[in-house]
Chain A
Amino acid sequence: MDKKYGVYICTGCGIGDTLDMEDLVEVPEEEGVNCTTHPFLCSKEGVELIQKDVDEGKVNAMVIGACSRRVNFDVFNFNGCIVERTNLREGVVWPHSREAYPALTEDQKDDEEHFDPIQMKAEDYIKMGMIRVEKVKLPEPFKTETFSRKILVLGGGVTGMSAALDAAKTGYEVTIVEKTDTLGGYAGKLRSQMPVVEPFESLQAPVVESLIQEVQGFSNIEVKTNCEVARIAGQPGEFTVTFKKPGEKIPFDVPFPLPEEMLMDENGKELDAEAAHAKYLEYNEGKNDILQLDPNGLLYGAVVLAAGWRPAVLEGEAYEHLGLNLDNVVTNDEFEMIAAKGKILRPSDGKEAKNVVFIQSPGKDEDDADFEYCGSVTSQVALKQAKYVREDYEDGKAYVIYQHMRTPGLQEYFYKSMQQDDGVFMTKGAVTEVAQQGDGIAVTATNTLLGENLAIKADMVVVAGGMVPVTKDDPVVNLAYRQGPGFRDNDIFGQYADSNYICFPYETQRTGIYAAGSIRRAMTIEESMEDATGAALKAIQCIESSNRGMAVHPRSGDMTYPDFFFQRCTQCKRCTVECPFGALDDDEKGTPNINPTRCRRCGTCMGACPERIITFSDYTIDSIGSQVKAIGVPSEDDYEEPPFRFLALVCENDAFPALDMVGMNRIDYSPNVRFIPVRCLGSVNVIWIKDALAQGMDGVILIGCKHGDDYQCHFMKGSELAEIRVKKIGDALSSLALEEERVAFTEIAIDEYDKLPEIINAFVEKVEDMGPNPFKGF
């Protein structure tokens, strides 16, 4: 692209009243770039003025000095042009007023005593905008070499079948992979299902049979039973999948990372890299490396993970009082299997079980939590199973002892209908003991409703075991990714394959692979089927986005992707390790292979790379680095007491909007700070910080989002990585006799804009107390 530059500055919304426009216009003009001002640039007339220049071929790379890029996005949109929005309104004239910083008189302008911090900030921002449009390129979308629109569904239960049906009905080809020899999963073994339609009074026949029939009726659904995936290699749009029989060992089984205990030698010392790699190869002997593509593998575009759950195994001290060793004390899973066979009979002697106690919470009187891996589904299962007792025996009695009956939403109607049945007794209570008593089982509980202690003699006791996601035992997806075969975050969700975001329930760290059903939360059949539809949509969306060369959430539509200058790669592997999405797989030498459709364009690799060889077309080390260098750093040569100068690198999703709100609320903060929004703090390369200090800036602050287990970063670890990098840079600074505190990291959430001015000012004051950067002026 042969760039033709232009700068357009709006003088409306107070910009022209606050700033010296003549001086501001000189900034681009000194560089030989035409600068146009307009009193109302976002008006039809203002936009037409720009469009005219574009149409006449005068401009295709422009700086628009006006409001924040978060507003008027649709107005300043010129096809085929590079547009940089310089934030003069929310970023300069709104927070900093002339009352606080009076304009200079003509005399003052020329002396060495006075300076105008607002004007300085605006001029810097125009310069920074100009250099950015010079440094960036318009993106060219990435195209995979091969492409498939087929969807792979792992698991043939209700969730998997529902996802497959929904994708098939939308016109996509689907393969369902099921480990066992039949479709249906757990739901296929049930006697009945919970009611889901009004009046929520009678149990429903299992939906599985009709789902299986529907699946069989679709020619675009292929079913592979007795089958599992050995590995899923490649990337969205072109996943290469190797199938195998369950339990079979084949060369395309995915290599597993070494278990932690194997990373130590006999003396408990950590193995060095070479020894660890040798051990890894030994551990995975007979398995092909992840980069070796199975020539017989089948191509898929995206994956739905619907492998479900297994019943919890209840063991240990916490459950000792529940008599789990007794024949007639069973889990809800075991009870369901008994009920599915016919009338409910006692396991010990096959006698009719007419009095059954259902225990919902294990904690004696000490804790009111449900069993592990339970959810509202287990409360509802108890109600359903109580109903079995009532269905089978006219004189049957079911006792449900719970701490909290969890039937949220419309499922409350089911609970209500069960309360009407005088053969069903339900009470809050803490079960203290379950013991054999003659022919029956004695259950005692305290703290029941109305304070009474309860003793029931029952034929059977049913304990509400939880639903353990199969990802607790096995990665299931078997990804041929260097970062490992499973989802990365599962340990913070108790091994559920869940999303960490409330707003974005399908967002995971493995692009193109969407979990649904009880593998991510204990769900009812109805909830699982609903979830399956959502996952099917996400799979389809990922395929279509990949095909257009666009990123999926959260940078949906972004057509840039990382580009490596491999000649300078030192194989340090940092990019491979730090990428939140596992988009990079290094080869045996450590050189990364890029999988652009796995990439979510956060730039963490760019921040990680010590050689600075990773770029995105519109976001590069140089584009931000040059912006940093464009910031004017006045020294004693310019002023008797030159103002300090600070750089702030801020997350564009949280800190940057928060800063806009500070501006909207006209709250002042130090005008000596220059803010650069970044895709994610994880993309911040320390060279920018070093450059800033080397050119005499007095301090650098990084402002990102909250990290920890409840991280808010949409790229998982961005701000955490930034904090680590800031800590490391501290050592380098001290070797230069610069105070570590000149570089700071802080976290802020988008709604904490009220705290932002304080944070900025406190940092500024702290550095000012240290005195100017000794390198200033050199």
Chain B
Amino acid sequence: MTTDNSAPVSGSIMVVGGGISGLTTALEAAEVGYEVFLVEKEASLGGRVSQLKHYFPKLCPPTCGLEINYRRIKDNKNIKVFTMSEVQKVEGNPGDYTVTLKTAPRYVNENCTACGECAKVCETEISNEFNFGMDRRKAAYLPHNMAFPQRYIMDTAMGTDDRDRVIEACKYDAIDFDMEEKNIDLKVGAIVWNTGWQPYDATKIDNLGFGRYQNIVTNMMLERMASINGPTDGKIIRPSDDKAPATIAFAQCAGSRDENHLPYCSYICCMASLKHATYLREQYPEAKIYIYYIDLRTPGLKYEKFYANLKQDENIFFIKGKVAEVSEESGTGNINLVAEDTITGEKVRQTVDLLVLATGMQPAAAIDKPNADLNYNEEGFIMNDFSKGGMFAAGCANKPADVVTSNQNATGMALKAIQTLVRR
């Protein structure tokens, strides 16, 4: 007996956040047959992982999976993507929500062919936040070369002259500075919050000197430097003098496992720093790498294997101890650090060319809480209430996690959302 061919559709699902976990929830639900509205506040989908060079432990580029996911979106009419959009408010009950979306003006309409003529003539430059401000970009820009949708955006920093120039350069009438913020209401049966995480603001960790000394960078900045589409075309260099670093230290738990900052473990930073050691080793075969840690959280077969491989490298040193103090060596820009080696009990003093802070993750909702009836823990993670249903948090909006775990979770939450619709 062949059953009917129709998709089991009854109501729609909204997914808030278009990073890897949001993409996963949206696609998995849509491929069951449900209509999905995918809402992303940035101009491109991809989220945090689109800033990464490689995933651990496979050392494969996230763009590969993103490309597949974008292709899945292209091939699926069930998904409607809203970029530059944020949820303003959610009203209603499980199975019957009205969501008000606010869409910021892109100043570029669907006529854009991504030909890039606007960027050529635009003279205004703005800080490139995709690269954490390490370089500048034109105020007429594509978010990055793997951006999806592939459409330019105009920053309002452009003056009248520049605006005239870009409008003149665009042969397709795609630029429109009269665009305004738009609000729309959407009816959905369930909402999954995949709002992800932000790197913890390293300037708040006063003793670690970020922002005071140029050669102290965060792990995410290192990630951008290592990426070929980053500010240094893939070269990891010292910000102060663009020189190749010969000694690099990593300060683990920069903010994490710390009552004054993030009391929890951010899950990914140990593996991330080990991964960063592989980036450095590839570029600098002789560089000495020092990793200061409390515990190396590399559990399970795959992660232990990754760590075991790095232990073979005689120029990578693992020191159990937390970096407590930093200062700058005068004249050289080198970083002096002080840490306590908890095994020997001795104070370790070391001078390195570059210090990388393994900053942790803070849920986006800790900074900007959605206007919806959700439960949060003290740190801003959204706690799920399955008995209530209707709205769910997935990925790092729910708890600190690596990409695999986030995606498992994001897949499951697609089903929880579907259950809400089925139960109606």
Instruction: Give the interface of A toward B (CB within 8 A).
Output: 12-14, 39-40, 42-43, 67, 70-74, 143-147, 149, 166, 169-171, 198, 368-370, 373-377, 379, 402, 404-413, 416, 428, 447-451, 493-494, 496, 500-506, 521-522, 527, 530-534, 536-538, 540-541, 544-545, 547-548, 552-554, 556-558, 653-654, 657, 661, 664-665, 705-706, 710, 712, 714, 749-754
Q: Determine whether B344 belongs to the interface, using a CB cutoff of 8 Å to chain A.
A: yes
Q: Determine whether B345 belongs to the interface, using a CB cutoff of 8 Å to chain A.
A: yes
Q: Determine whether B213 belongs to the interface, using a CB cutoff of 8 Å to chain A.
A: no
Q: What separation, in Å, do the CA atoms of A200 and B211 have in the docked complex? A: 35
Residue in contact with B115 in the complex, picked from A13, A39, A379, CB distance below 8 Å: A13
Q: Of the 9-residue stretches B128-136, B237-245, B292-300, which lies at the interface with chain A?
A: B292-300
Residue in contact with A710 in the complex, picked from B58, B145, B418, CB distance below 8 Å: B58
Q: What separation, in Å, do the CA atoms of A545 and B416 have in the docked complex? A: 19
Residue in contact with A494 in the complex, picked from B64, B301, B399, CB distance below 8 Å: B301
CB distance A147 to B3 under 8 Å?
A: yes
| Complex interface: chain A residues within 8 A of B377 (CB) | 198, 410
Q: Determine whether B207 belongs to the interface, using a CB cutoff of 8 Å to chain A.
A: no
| Complex interface: chain B residues within 8 A of A368 (CB) | 296
Query: Interface on chain A toward B: helix, strand, loop, or mixed SS?
Result: loop
CB distance B300 to A376 under 8 Å?
A: yes
- Minimum distance in angstroms from B278 CB to a CB of chain A: 12
| Complex interface: chain A residues within 8 A of B342 (CB) | 428, 449-450
Q: Determine whether B367 belongs to the interface, using a CB cutoff of 8 Å to chain A.
A: no
Residue in contact with A657 in the complex, picked from B67, B265, B297, CB distance below 8 Å: B67
Q: What separation, in Å, do the CA atoms of A484 and B60 have in the docked complex? A: 29
| Complex interface: chain B residues within 8 A of A710 (CB) | 58-60
| Complex interface: chain A residues within 8 A of B296 (CB) | 368, 404
| Complex interface: chain A residues within 8 A of B61 (CB) | 749-752
CB distance B299 to A530 under 8 Å?
A: no
CB distance A73 to B74 under 8 Å?
A: yes
Output the residue of B75, B404, B412 with the most chain A CB within 10 A.
B412
CB distance A750 to B113 under 8 Å?
A: no
- Contacts A412-B265, A536-B412 given; 19 further ones with Cβ under 8 A? A40-B113, A70-B150, A145-B2, A166-B412, A409-B266, A428-B320, A494-B301, A502-B60, A503-B24, A503-B403, A504-B65, A504-B407, A505-B407, A505-B408, A530-B412, A558-B75, A661-B146, A710-B59, A751-B63
CB distance A449 to B343 under 8 Å?
A: yes
Q: What separation, in Å, do the CA atoms of A657 and B148 have in the docked complex? A: 13
Q: Determine whether B283 belongs to the interface, using a CB cutoff of 8 Å to chain A.
A: no
Q: Determine whether B419 belongs to the interface, using a CB cutoff of 8 Å to chain A.
A: yes
CB distance B415 to A503 under 8 Å?
A: no
A-B residue pairs in contact (CB < 8 Å), sample of 30: A12-B115, A12-B172, A71-B150, A73-B74, A74-B74, A146-B1, A166-B419, A369-B308, A370-B304, A409-B266, A409-B401, A410-B264, A410-B381, A410-B399, A412-B257, A496-B301, A500-B58, A503-B20, A505-B408, A527-B405, A534-B411, A537-B415, A538-B411, A540-B415, A547-B2, A554-B68, A653-B64, A749-B64, A752-B228, A754-B228
| Complex interface: chain A residues within 8 A of B24 (CB) | 503
CB distance B227 to A408 under 8 Å?
A: no
Which residue on B lies nearest to A41, using beta carbons?
A: B113
CB distance A12 to B171 under 8 Å?
A: yes
Q: Determine whether B11 belongs to the interface, using a CB cutoff of 8 Å to chain A.
A: no
Residue in contact with A12 in the complex, picked from B27, B113, B416, CB distance below 8 Å: B113
Residue in contact with B415 in the complex, picked from A166, A496, A547, CB distance below 8 Å: A166
| Complex interface: chain B residues within 8 A of A530 (CB) | 408-409, 412
Among B49-85, those with CB < 8 Å from A are 53, 55, 58-69, 71-72, 74-76
CB distance A753 to B228 under 8 Å?
A: yes
Q: What separation, in Å, do the CA atoms of A737 and B74 have in the docked complex? A: 46
Q: What separation, in Å, do the CA atoms of A506 and B409 have in the docked complex? A: 11
Instruction: Give the interface of B toward A (CB within 8 A).
Output: 1-3, 5, 7-8, 20, 24, 27-28, 31-33, 53, 55, 58-69, 71-72, 74-76, 111, 113-116, 145-146, 150, 171-172, 227-229, 233-234, 257, 263-267, 295-302, 304, 307-308, 320, 342-345, 377-378, 381, 399-401, 403-405, 407-416, 418-419, 422-423
Q: What separation, in Å, do the CA atoms of A440 and B403 have in the docked complex? A: 46
CB distance B64 to A541 under 8 Å?
A: no
Residue in contact with A376 in the complex, picked from B31, B228, B297, B302, CB distance below 8 Å: B297
- Minimum distance in angstroms from A744 CB to a CB of chain B: 22
Residue in contact with A534 in the complex, picked from B63, B304, B381, B408, CB distance below 8 Å: B408
CB distance B416 to A143 under 8 Å?
A: no
Given A147-B2, A530-B412: A664 touches B267 (CB 8 Å cut-off): no
Q: What separation, in Å, do the CA atoms of A72 and B150 have in the docked complex? A: 9
Q: What separation, in Å, do the CA atoms of A493 and B58 have in the docked complex? A: 12
- Minimum distance in angstroms from B63 CB to a CB of chain A: 5
CB distance A502 to B55 under 8 Å?
A: yes
- Minimum distance in angstroms from A519 CB to a CB of chain B: 13
| Complex interface: chain B residues within 8 A of A370 (CB) | 299, 304
CB distance B58 to A410 under 8 Å?
A: no
Given A13-B113, A143-B2: A502 touches B58 (CB 8 Å cut-off): yes
- Minimum distance in angstroms from A151 CB to a CB of chain B: 12
- Minimum distance in angstroms from A115 CB to a CB of chain B: 27
Given A198-B377, A654-B67, A754-B234: A379 touches B299 (CB 8 Å cut-off): yes
Given A369-B304, A496-B301, A522-B300: A547 touches B5 (CB 8 Å cut-off): yes
- Minimum distance in angstroms from A413 CB to a CB of chain B: 7
CB distance A409 to B320 under 8 Å?
A: no
- Minimum distance in angstroms from A433 CB to a CB of chain B: 19
Q: What separation, in Å, do the CA atoms of A750 and B301 have in the docked complex? A: 27
Given A149-B3, A502-B58: A750 touches B67 (CB 8 Å cut-off): yes
CB distance B32 to A653 under 8 Å?
A: no
Residue in contact with A556 in the complex, picked from B58, B72, B411, CB distance below 8 Å: B72
Which residue on A lies nearest to B265, using beta carbons?
A: A412
Residue in contact with A412 in the complex, picked from B32, B229, B263, B413, CB distance below 8 Å: B263
Which residue on A lies nearest to B234, using beta carbons?
A: A754
Given A409-B264, A751-B61: A375 touches B234 (CB 8 Å cut-off): no
CB distance A147 to B401 under 8 Å?
A: no
| Complex interface: chain B residues within 8 A of A531 (CB) | 408, 412
| Complex interface: chain A residues within 8 A of B116 (CB) | 664
| Complex interface: chain A residues within 8 A of B229 (CB) | 751
Residue in contact with B76 in the complex, picked from A412, A544, A557, A749, CB distance below 8 Å: A557
| Complex interface: chain A residues within 8 A of B299 (CB) | 370, 374-377, 379, 406, 408, 522
Which residue on B lies nearest to A71, using beta carbons?
A: B150
Q: What separation, in Å, do the CA atoms of A561 and B410 have in the docked complex? A: 29
Residue in contact with B64 in the complex, picked from A40, A71, A447, A654, CB distance below 8 Å: A654
- Minimum distance in angstroms from A747 CB to a CB of chain B: 12
Output the residue of A411, A412, A752 with the most chain B CB within 10 A.
A412
- Minimum distance in angstroms from B223 CB to a CB of chain A: 12
Q: What separation, in Å, do the CA atoms of A501 and B419 have in the docked complex? A: 27
CB distance A544 to B32 under 8 Å?
A: yes
CB distance A447 to B301 under 8 Å?
A: no
| Complex interface: chain B residues within 8 A of A536 (CB) | 412, 415
Q: What separation, in Å, do the CA atoms of A505 and B406 have in the docked complex? A: 10
| Complex interface: chain B residues within 8 A of A751 (CB) | 53, 61, 63-64, 227-229
Q: What separation, in Å, do the CA atoms of A166 and B228 have in the docked complex? A: 43
Q: What separation, in Å, do the CA atoms of A686 and B71 have in the docked complex? A: 28
Given A13-B115, A447-B343: A547 touches B72 (CB 8 Å cut-off): no
- Minimum distance in angstroms from A703 CB to a CB of chain B: 14
CB distance A40 to B412 under 8 Å?
A: no
Given A13-B113, A14-B115, A654-B64: A503 touches B265 (CB 8 Å cut-off): no
| Complex interface: chain B residues within 8 A of A375 (CB) | 299-301
| Complex interface: chain B residues within 8 A of A147 (CB) | 1-3
Q: What separation, in Å, do the CA atoms of A424 and B302 have in the docked complex? A: 30
Given A540-B415, A654-B64, A750-B63: A40 touches B171 (CB 8 Å cut-off): yes
| Complex interface: chain A residues within 8 A of B298 (CB) | 404, 406
CB distance B68 to A653 under 8 Å?
A: yes
| Complex interface: chain A residues within 8 A of B301 (CB) | 373, 375, 493-494, 496, 521
CB distance B415 to A170 under 8 Å?
A: yes
